[in-house]
Amino acid sequence: MRNIIWLSIDSLSDIHVTPETMPTLCDLLELRFCNHVACTPYTSASWYNQITGKYAQDIGYDRFSLAGCNDIFFHKGYHLQSNVIQLFKEAGYQTVLDSFYADWMDWLPGFAQSNKIKSSVFPQRPKCSPFLWVFHYVGLHHDTTDKNRVNLKRELYPAVLKKHDKIIGRWVDAVYQSGDILVITSDHGVTWVPGLDEHHGATLYESSIRTLFGIKGIDWQWNVTALSRNIDVAPTLLALALEQKMDCEGVDLIKIYNNEAIELDYAILETGSAWETPDFHSRFGVRWVYHKYVFDWTSEQVLALTKPILHPEYIAQDGTPNRSNSYLRAGREILGSYLASHGLERQYDKLQDVIAK
């Protein structure tokens, strides 16, 4: 049973992890999923996506408030759902959760029973073994949001990335040992939208939904360009360490190496601006490999992703708008089916109104 170190870096998009800005992190990601997306790109919901392997509407997460403030979440029994932390604990792993928010999901099985740390700096390696050690690094988030973001110029963003790249590299050098599996993820990316306070989470810009998923320690060197989703993290972790499956919508991405077919034709995306629609998600999308269909209250469009966003001045920009009838039709059908099957009548009716016009 191999030790698992799971490092989650808050507020970091994969498209900004380049040899120029974050060379250490690039070297760490031996197996890197380069087309990895967050199905619900804000912190709390994205964490739920990752640990349960399920879409937001299947885990009771359809609003920005923490689940602990959501009576419906408990009334419907979502707090009893199986998750990857629980399954590792049941398999004999010592589970260690380290974050400013270490106790924010104690209502889920396995969380209240895990060791909790709230480090202000990178913590020490656990002494127990085997362990699943989850560390949620918020340093980059704190340097790019809240009151500090007001003074952060876009041209300074690469320097901020380089700073945290060095910190992360020093920590990994100090704690990673031969035989460990190091998993690195992020919960969402960042956007700066002129005139709007939408730093992250509220948009479906590529720089917000594209997140990290990389693995070190399994002797595979590969940049995977196929689509992957944050709901695939949990089943992949289980397959790596326990060769165990879980009941979820995500898939084990390691099957790629066994030449087994993986049906990852698209990902469902959903979010919304907390100050406009705090009680439900109002922005939905369907993400293919190179195109993205986006629907909100006022419009719908297909975005063709022409090239990665490498420079800070493009953080809030996306691909070229595209009125491709085939992608519009496919996106409407996929999204309509998702909305209808999850009882999202208000959003479904709005989609039909847009189509009728």
Let me know if residue 181 belongs to a domain. Answer: yes
What's the predicted TM-score (pTM) here? Answer: 0.92
pLDDT at 279: 67
68 occurs within a structural domain: yes
- Does 199 map to a domain? yes
Q: Among residues of the chain, what percentage have pLDDT more than 70?
A: 85
Task: Look at residue 60 in the predicted model and tell me its pLDDT.
Answer: 86
Residue 20 lies in a domain: yes
pLDDT digits (tens, 9 = 90+) for 69-91: 677 788 888 888 899 999 999 99
**Residue 355 located in a structural domain:** no
Judge whether residue 254 has pLDDT over 80.
yes
In the numeric block, which tokens belong to residue 82?
């199986």
Residue-wise pLDDT tens digits, 168-193: 999 999 999 999 999 999 999 887 76
How many domains, the chain? Answer: 1
In whole numbers, what is the pLDDT of the chain averaged over residues? Answer: 85
Least confident of 111-115, 121-125, 145-149: 145-149
The verdict on residue 311 lying in a domain is: no
Rounded distance, CA 63 to CA 280, Å? 5
Q: pLDDT (tens digit, 9 = 90+) per residue, 115-130?
A: 988 876 778 899 889 9
If we measure between CA atoms, which residue out of 316, 318, 298, 300 comes closest to residue 308?
Answer: 318
Domain containing 36: what range?
4-262
What is the dihedral angle through the alpha carbons of 165, 171, 176, 180, rounded to the nearest 10 degrees?
Answer: -70
Dist CA 273 CA 189 (whole Å) = 15
Q: Does residue 139 belong to any structural domain of this protein? A: yes
The pLDDT of 239-245, averaged and rounded, is 88
Alpha-carbon dihedral sign for residues 331, 291, 312, 13: positive
Overall average pLDDT of the 41-61 stretch = 92
Residue 231 lies in a domain: yes
Percent of the chain with pLDDT over 90: 47
Query: How far is residue 79's CA from residue 231's CA, in Å, rounded to a whole number?
Result: 17
pLDDT at 33: 94
The pLDDT assigned to 199 comes to 61
Q: Give the pLDDT of residue 148.
A: 46
What CATH number does the domain containing 153 carry? 3.40.720.10
312 pLDDT above the threshold of 60: no
Give the confidence band of 195 by pLDDT, cuts at 50, 70, 90: low
Asked which of 12-26, 237-251, 256-270 is least confident by mean pLDDT, the reply is 256-270
Mean pLDDT of 286-306: 84
pLDDT at 153: 66
Asked whether the predicted pLDDT for residue 140 surpasses 70, the reply is yes
pLDDT tens readout for residues 260-283: 666 688 999 998 865 556 567 888
pLDDT of residue 238: 94
- pLDDT attached to residue 155: 73
CA distances for 144 relative to 152, 157, 160, 184, angstroms: 7, 8, 8, 20
**Residue pointed to by tokens 């879980």:** 246
- Three-class SS state of 44: helix
Strands 131-137 and 94-98: parallel
pLDDT band at 198, cuts 50/70/90?
A: low
**Which contacts qualify for 330-338: CB closer than 8 Å, 24 or more apart?**
330/286, 330/293, 331/285, 331/286, 331/293, 331/295, 331/300, 331/302, 332/293, 332/295, 332/300, 334/266, 334/268, 334/286, 334/293, 335/268, 335/284, 335/285, 335/286, 335/293, 335/295, 338/57, 338/268, 338/284
Indicate left, alpha or beta for 154 from its phi (over 0: left) and psi (-120 to 50: alpha).
Answer: alpha
At 7 the pLDDT is: 97
